[in-house]
């Protein structure tokens, strides 16, 4: 893919087009570029301000897509729901002009307030471009100051109760297996390095601090900016016997600890205990139901067939798998078992019904079928030993998603304007980590731990 300069009056928007592979030339010198245009979330302002925001969106779209003509009234905007951090607009051109490239519907995503503290937007941008080169993501048309314009994937997002549907989860597992085998971490890292180098050279941008390069460094950075969240403190207080920093102390009852001290030591312990037990991949890191899209055809088949009926086996081949993953803002090099475990934790939904999370044990037949679909690739056989090993690997990372999202939600509770109980959610997610650690320490001398060691 190639990133070129797309001149828009006296402004400039980064315009992207596919060109087969990453090249050094895809980063050109630009001034007053992408960061000059900001779109406020529609619906968060007064009626007059909202009308002005919609006009800004339509004008920007006509600049990006000149083939749409020059009449803003032909562009229909529809705000989509489902996320809890960003605004997503479906933008459809309804005019009479003949659109030769076929793009009449695109998406605009504007970033949530303060999410730059949590998310590396340059990494997200480069990751999206790389995924598109593998046909695993829609095309990116433009990047502006606080968002992206990219292709629309026809279909709908899954509901959380569909993640465990036996007619659906083989597709998800197969797609994730393909993703982990195909997407190269080094390609993303090299593209990101060149992009930042070009910014520094052309704009004399000063880099104030090193950005995290993997999931462990990312969590460490989050802990560094985490305030004393009441819900997290309460959960930690209930699990003092498991706190590693107290286990290390000679007199654990007498020490006074901050939330950062407790969680920083837990992260160190977690990395030392399980950090080497799973291969590093380009992890999606956010495979909840809203980020998994199924086409309308498959949706209709599901509705007609019912939960226990099988859908055509032709979809299971990786070239025709109808499942698509969206939203790549949390993509980061990380253990594959974290990415898989994180997806399974999402089976509980935002209500955190933990009874819906599949148990990571070898006797769980649902999990064995899921792992078979994940491991399956053309021309190879999936053995029982391979399935056993993957389940053991996954079980070691079952507490990490709760640790990750508990900290994330704690930060969101102080910066987000969205009507969501991030504080309560943070405590509910961190419970998953402590429950897992209690299990892990109990099982540490078992056959599972010995065989992994």
| Residue 23: CATH number of its domain | 3.30.200.20
Indicate whether 227 pLDDT > 80: yes
- On whether both 32 and 135 belong to a single domain, the answer is yes
Once rounded to an integer, what is the mean pLDDT over residues 322-348? Answer: 96
Query: Which residue range is the domain that position 338 belongs to?
Result: 174-185+211-288+331-452
Model confidence at 260, in pLDDT bands (50, 70, 90)? Answer: very high
Model confidence at 446, in pLDDT bands (50, 70, 90)? Answer: low
Instruction: Tell me the average pLDDT of the chain.
Output: 83
- On whether both 123 and 181 belong to a single domain, the answer is no
pLDDT of residue 317: 47
- On whether both 143 and 180 belong to a single domain, the answer is no
Residues 26-49: pLDDT tens digits?
444 332 334 457 776 665 555 656
- On whether both 123 and 263 belong to a single domain, the answer is no
- On whether both 117 and 179 belong to a single domain, the answer is no
| Structural domain count of the chain | 2
- On whether both 32 and 147 belong to a single domain, the answer is yes
Residues 280-319: pLDDT tens digits?
999 999 999 999 999 988 888 878 776 555 555 555 444 5
CATH number at residue 247: 3.90.1200.10
Residues 202-223: pLDDT tens digits?
555 555 567 899 999 999 999 9
With residues binned 3-state (H G I as helix, E B as strand, rest as coil), the percentages for the chain, rounded to 5, are 50, 15, 40
Indicate whether 82 pLDDT > 80: no
Range 366-403 burial, b when 16+ CB lie within 10 A, else e: ebbebbbbbbbeeeeebeeeebebbbbbbbbbbbbbbb
Quote the percentage of the chain above a pLDDT of 70.
Answer: 79
- On whether both 404 and 439 belong to a single domain, the answer is yes
- On whether both 376 and 422 belong to a single domain, the answer is yes
Structure tokens at 42: 């529609």
- On whether both 267 and 341 belong to a single domain, the answer is yes
Indicate whether 2 pLDDT > 80: no
Look at residue 233 and tell me if it is in a domain: yes
Rounded CA separation 403/397 (Å): 10
Look at residue 366 and tell me if it is in a domain: yes
């Amino acid at each position: 893919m190639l990133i070129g300069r797309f001149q828009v009056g006296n402004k400039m928007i980064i315009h992207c087009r596919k060109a087969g592979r990453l090249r050094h030339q895809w980063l050109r010198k630009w001034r007053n570029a992408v960061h000059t245009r900001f779109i406020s979330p529609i619906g968060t302002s007064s009626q007059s301000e909202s009308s002005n925001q919609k006009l800004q969106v339509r004008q920007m779209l006509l600049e990006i897509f000149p083939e749409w003509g020059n009449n803003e009234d032909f562009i229909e905007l529809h705000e989509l729901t489902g996320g809890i951090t960003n605004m997503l607009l479906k933008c459809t051109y309804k005019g009479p002009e003949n659109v030769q490239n076929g793009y009449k519907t695109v998406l605009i995503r504007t970033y949530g307030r303060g999410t730059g503290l949590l998310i590396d937007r340059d990494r997200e941008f480069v990751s999206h471009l790389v995924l598109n080169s593998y046909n695993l993501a829609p095309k990116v048309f433009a990047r502006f100051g606080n968002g992206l314009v990219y292709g629309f994937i026809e279909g709908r997002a899954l509901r959380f109760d569909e993640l465990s549907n036996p007619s659906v989860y083989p597709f998800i597992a197969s797609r994730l297996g393909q993703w982990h085998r195909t997407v190269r971490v080094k390609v993303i890292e090299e593209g990101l390095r060149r992009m930042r180098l070009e910014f520094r050279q052309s704009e004399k941008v000063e880099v104030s601090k090193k950005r995290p390069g993997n999931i462990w460094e990312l969590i460490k950075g989050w802990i560094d900016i985490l305030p004393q969240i009441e819900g997290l403190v309460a959960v930690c207080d209930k699990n003092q016997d498991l706190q590693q920093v107290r286990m290390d102390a000679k007199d654990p009852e007498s020490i006074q600890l901050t939330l950062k001290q407790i969680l920083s030591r837990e992260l160190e312990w977690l990395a030392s205990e399980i950090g080497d037990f799973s291969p590093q991949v380009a992890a999606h890191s956010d495979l909840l139901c809203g980020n998994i899209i199924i086409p309308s055809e498959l949706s209709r088949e599901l509705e007609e067939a019912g939960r226990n009926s099988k859908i055509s086996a032709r979809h299971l081949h990786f070239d025709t798998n109808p499942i698509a993953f969206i939203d790549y803002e949390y993509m980061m090099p990380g253990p594959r078992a974290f990415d898989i475990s994180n997806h399974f934790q999402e089976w509980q939904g935002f209500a955190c019904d933990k009874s819906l999370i599949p148990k990571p044990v070898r006797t769980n037949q649902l999990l064995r079928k899921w792992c078979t679909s994940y491991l399956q690739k053309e021309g190879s056989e999936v053995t029982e030993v391979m399935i056993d090993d993957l389940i053991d690997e996954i079980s070691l990372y079952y507490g990490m998603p709760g640790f990750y999202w508990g900290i994330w939600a704690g930060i969101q509770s102080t910066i987000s304007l969205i009507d969501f109980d991030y504080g309560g959610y943070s405590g509910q997610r961190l419970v998953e980590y402590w429950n897992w650690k209690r299990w892990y320490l109990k099982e540490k001398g078992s056959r599972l731990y010995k065989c992994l060691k």
